[in-house]
Amino acid sequence: MALKLPRRSVLQTGAAFMAGSCAVPFTRALAAGKDTVTIGWPNDVGSWDPNQRFTPDAQAIFKAVFDQPLDQDPQLKLIPHLIKNWSLAPDALSMAVELRDDVTFHNGDKMTTEDFRYTFFERPKSGLKLDTANSWRKVQDIVVESPTKATMKFASPAPTAPQWLAFLGSFMVPKKYIESGGLENFLKKPSGTGPYKLAEYELNSRIVLERNDKYWGPKAKIPRVTIEIIKDPSARVAAIQSGAVDWTVNVPVREVQRFKDSGFAAALEPITRVILLQVRNDLAFADKNVRLAAHHAIDKAALSKAFYGGAAVPLSVPATPGTPGYMPDYTFSYDPELAKQYLAKSNFSPSNPVKIGFAATNGQFPSDYDIARAIVQMWKRVGIEANLQVIEYAKYFELNRAVKLPETTLYSWDNATGDPELYSGYLLNPKMPFSAWKGEEVGQKVLKLLNVAEYDARIAGYRELNRFAVEDGATIPLLQSVLTVVHKKNLTYTKYANGWMLAQTLQWS
Amino acid sequence: MIAIVGKLIARRLITAVPILLAVSALLFCVLRALPVDPAAMSLPPTATVEEIEAKRHEMGLDRPLPEQYVIWLTDALHGDFGRSIQFRRDSGSLVATTLPATIQLAASAMVIAAILGIGGGLLMFRVRGTLLEPVTDMVSILLLSIPEFLWGLILLFVFGVALHLLPFTGQVSPELPAPRITGFLLLDSLLAGRVDIFLSACQHLILPAVALGLAFSPTIMRVLRSSLFDVYHEDYIQQARLRGLSEGHILIKHAFKNASLPTLTLAGVQFGILFSGTLLVEVIYSYPGMGNLMVDAVRNADLPLIQTIGLTYCIVVLVINTFVDSLYVVLNPKLRVR
């Protein structure tokens, strides 16, 4: 017997369903109350193992669920967190730490120095292929003296060990929970000591956090935080515009003023990310005159005005204002005439230009490709003809390792700690894959500084290195990067100089 | 009829094996030919050259390409598709997690494309020779010229931002805990007896599905119209007219039935294309599907994940083609005689 459906009824039911579906209140936007907040965020965490990968964009999310041994205040000063006291030995070969004794993981386990040892020694050495295995490779052992006291032992001086305890991947994880339940269970139900617990997670779509009411520190003001992973900048604009999210970042720079005019709080926040030209010390750039000419020919203020509304500070050294390596009194001038003179010394001129290769990403950071095109034009005026090519950010390291980068590459470098080792110490270290510069003199200076334990001497050394590297043409710093932030006016948050946007600091007014 | 369909499926299963082998080998070779080093990509930038070399050896990348392929194939046959470089998880499990959402989206989009395409095709044919013909022509060309991601943005701004009618991020409202039984949220919400989640999921599905559907409907419209033109030259249409049947009756009961076969073939082909069209639409709507994952994989040169997703696309297309051919047998009596 054939099943006969009355056609009219089917159509009517279908139409009613569609209409009803639309008529059901669009709950998310209408439900925004003081107890919830929705954030539009451009990237997912990838994995809920916070030690696994160094992803700067995920650090703010990890900081909601996990705690770091040390923290930074909004001005980036290192402050106690899970670690109450720390003392780096004068030779930087060991560091004694004292943990808080009132911290519990979300699963109820009490945090002790066993967890500390597990996170920073046992796990990195276990062959799990964690990125922290690299950052903590100098750790020889962590000697546990009591549930709250331990000493980190380093194979070679580790002067930035305290900074690294507040940096990428350094999040405390629960030893017992992972060992007894397995890693897969931990990835599904991560247990940290942070101010929020993970309530729900959908890959590439949504993270829902619920307040940890047993948190050892100041409780988060908003009980429930939803993080919508919205990768497309236009979709983020639409989401904040429509009220689907209350707060978002990385919208196009040109949208910031429009949002301000339409009743939102919007800002271009300078952060500790530098935009610079990574430079090779061979090919056409073997000639110092060409390198210095390339630097003098760039009008950084014009770039800032054109692409960042003037909010990005022009830089003369690879460090941002307010960080220890920054040199406020030092300026590398924009001087096209001087650039022409340098080129003339090497028999180049606008009619006989020096030809160089120039690589840039397109879409890795705001206006990157446009900045590169503008620089090409600036160079053309003084006698440098650059062949611009687009590369993927992920390929930078590989091309650099294979010595296949062109003379210069537009690059952005994030350093949430603000420490100069993590600027010039990495960017100019010829042994690291970040540095395109392989010159011996700069390299020797960097390697020497990596072993300087005394803080003031270390900072003075890096300032001197910065000046030397810039005047040698080993680096061409351009701008301090900016972060675009848009949010509802009655939503406030703590601004961090490194651009961290922490859910636990959000508050409705 | 069941026997014929069964035979067809069996035949397709047999031919699928060499096709999948060829596609997997091609994908493998193309990905290995890219100037990307999976060993270096899977380690942090601070890794030393020695560590990268050790990793390369561990991953078998220092062996000849055919040997690498055989290793990959053996592992794949045992369900191990390799570890995603970006997510550091098994690629197979990542695809399995995201595939249901994409199938759900693509199937909904296909239904919308079919409704709009068939409705539009019939309308276009019905208004032939009238003043409305150029209007319907223009509308179909307009629909044809707008790609799915642009529809995605247009619909998002109109219905999400301006009219504030529909949600446009994710699969379901964050207040509602999504049940996970089969991975197909619409089905899971019904199995869990949660009508509120089902309705919310429908709301979230409308914009991305319509964006994809709108982009693929005009092809169906135009093919159906031209098929109807062909069918109307057949004698049985004249005979139906002589029997005094109304034009509407002839169109729906006689002409459409026969004209629908080429349209069905096209719809099958379109579904494969539509499936790959989910890539950008999923990114725009933060839809947690395989397309979104693929965009991530390509951006991060995550070769094992790209390979797994590419192979999954191939399998989906093969399944769809088999389904359409089976449907063809069901709808076309001539094919059942052989």
Beta bridge partners of A388: A358
pLDDT for residue A128: 64
Out of A47, A244, A395, name the one closest to residue B36 (CB).
Answer: A395
A62-115 pLDDT, tens digit each: 999 999 999 999 999 999 999 999 999 999 999 999 999 999 999 999 999 999
Out of A46, A200, A238, name the one closest to residue B86 (CB).
Answer: A46
Does the CA dihedral A263-A268-A272-A277 come out positive or negative?
A: positive
Q: Tokens for A354, please give them.
A: 């020096």
- Taking an 8 Å cut-off on Cβ atoms, the answer to whether B173 and A228 are in contact is no
Q: What is the mean pLDDT of residues A244-262?
A: 92
A55 has a pLDDT exceeding 90: no
- Taking an 8 Å cut-off on Cβ atoms, the answer to whether A29 and B89 are in contact is no
Using the Cβ of B199 and the Cβ atoms of chain A, whether some distance falls under 8 Å is answered with: yes
DSSP state of A247: E
Out of B169, B202, B203, name the one closest to residue A228 (CB).
Answer: B169
A9 has a pLDDT exceeding 60: no
Beta bridge partners of A270: A482
* Position with higher pLDDT, B251 vs A277: A277
In this prediction, the residues of chain B whose per-residue pLDDT falls under 50 are none
CA distance A394 to A401: 12
Report the relative pairing of strands A36-41 and A408-414 from DSSP bridges.
Answer: unpaired
CA distance A211 to A137: 34
- Label each residue of A154-208 as H, E or C: ECCCCCCHHHHCCCCCCCCCCHHHHHHHCHHHHHHCCCCCCCEEEEEEECCCEEE
Using the Cβ of B60 and the Cβ atoms of chain A, whether some distance falls under 8 Å is answered with: no
Instruction: Find, in chain B, the residue whose alpha carbon is nearest to that of A242.
Output: B161
Phi, psi of A153 (to 5 degrees): -115, 130
**Which DSSP string corresponds to A110-155?**
BP-HHHHHIIIIIHHHTTS--THHHHTTTEEEEEE-SSSEEEEEES
Q: Write out the H or E segment, with its range, that includes residue B66.
A: helix B65-77
Q: Tokens for B54, please give them.
A: 């050790």
**Which DSSP string corresponds to A366-407?**
TTHHHHHHHHHHHHHHHTEEEEEEE--GGGHHHHHHTT---S
pLDDT for residue A10: 45
- Taking an 8 Å cut-off on Cβ atoms, the answer to whether A232 and B284 are in contact is yes
Q: Which of A450, A403, A466, A484 is nearest to A154 (CA)?
A: A450
pLDDT for residue A165: 97
Instruction: Find, in chain B, the residue whose alpha carbon is nearest to that of A427.
Output: B46
pLDDT for residue A28: 46
pLDDT for residue A32: 52
Out of A21, A40, A134, name the one closest to residue B47 (CB).
Answer: A134
Using the Cβ of A27 and the Cβ atoms of chain B, whether some distance falls under 8 Å is answered with: yes
Q: How far is CA A311 from CA A109, A146, A218, A297, A308, in A?
A: 46, 49, 33, 21, 6
CA A247 to chain centre: 19
Residue A33's pLDDT band, with cuts at 50, 70 and 90, is: low
Using the Cβ of A252 and the Cβ atoms of chain B, whether some distance falls under 8 Å is answered with: no
pLDDT for residue B336: 67
CA distance A225 to A35: 9
CA distance B23 to B12: 16
Using the Cβ of A128 and the Cβ atoms of chain B, whether some distance falls under 8 Å is answered with: no
Q: Write out the H or E segment, with its range, that includes residue A271.
A: strand A265-279
A387-432 pLDDT, tens digit each: 999 988 877 887 888 889 999 999 999 999 999 999 999 999 998 8
Q: How many CA atoms lie within 13 A of A152 on its CB side?
A: 34
CA distance B212 to B110: 8
- Residues 209 to 228 of A: which have CB under 8 A from any B CB? 226, 228
The angle, 0 to 180 degrees and rounded to 10, between the axes of the packed helices B91-126 and B195-231 is 50
B304-315 pLDDT, tens digit each: 999 999 999 999
- Matching residue, tokens 């206006």: A367
Q: What is the mean pLDDT of residues A127-154?
A: 92
CA distance A284 to A343: 12
Q: For residue A117, what are the contacts with CB-CB under 8 A and spacing of at least 6?
A: A142, A144, A150, A175
Phi, psi of A229 (to 5 degrees): -85, 105
Q: Write out the H or E segment, with its range, that includes residue B8.
A: helix B2-33
Using the Cβ of B195 and the Cβ atoms of chain A, whether some distance falls under 8 Å is answered with: no
Instruction: Find, in chain B, the residue whose alpha carbon is nearest to that of A37.
Output: B174
Using the Cβ of A142 and the Cβ atoms of chain B, whether some distance falls under 8 Å is answered with: no
Using the Cβ of B293 and the Cβ atoms of chain A, whether some distance falls under 8 Å is answered with: yes
DSSP state of A220: P
Out of A131, A208, A401, name the one closest to residue B174 (CB).
Answer: A208
pLDDT for residue B2: 79
CA distance A23 to A11: 18
Residue A11's pLDDT band, with cuts at 50, 70 and 90, is: very low
- Taking an 8 Å cut-off on Cβ atoms, the answer to whether B292 and A204 are in contact is yes
Asked if A191 contacts A172 with a C-beta cutoff of 8 angstroms, the reply is no
* Position with higher pLDDT, A19 vs A471: A471
Q: Which of B78, B19, B106, B36 is nearest to B287 (CA)?
A: B106
Using the Cβ of A7 and the Cβ atoms of chain B, whether some distance falls under 8 Å is answered with: no
- Taking an 8 Å cut-off on Cβ atoms, the answer to whether A206 and B36 are in contact is no
Q: Which of A310, A313, A307, A301 is nearest to A254 (CA)?
A: A307
Q: How many CA atoms lie within 13 A of A485 on its CB side?
A: 23
CA distance A69 to A84: 9
Mean pLDDT of chain A: 91
Using the Cβ of B25 and the Cβ atoms of chain A, whether some distance falls under 8 Å is answered with: no
Using the Cβ of A182 and the Cβ atoms of chain B, whether some distance falls under 8 Å is answered with: no
Q: What is the mean pLDDT of residues A113-137?
A: 91
pTM above 0.90, yes or no: no
Predicted complex ipTM: 0.83
- Taking an 8 Å cut-off on Cβ atoms, the answer to whether A204 and B41 are in contact is no
Distance from CA of B18 to the nearest CA of A (A): 33
At A257 the three-state DSSP class reads helix
CA distance A83 to A71: 9
CA distance B99 to B290: 5
Q: What is the mean pLDDT of residues A125-149?
A: 90
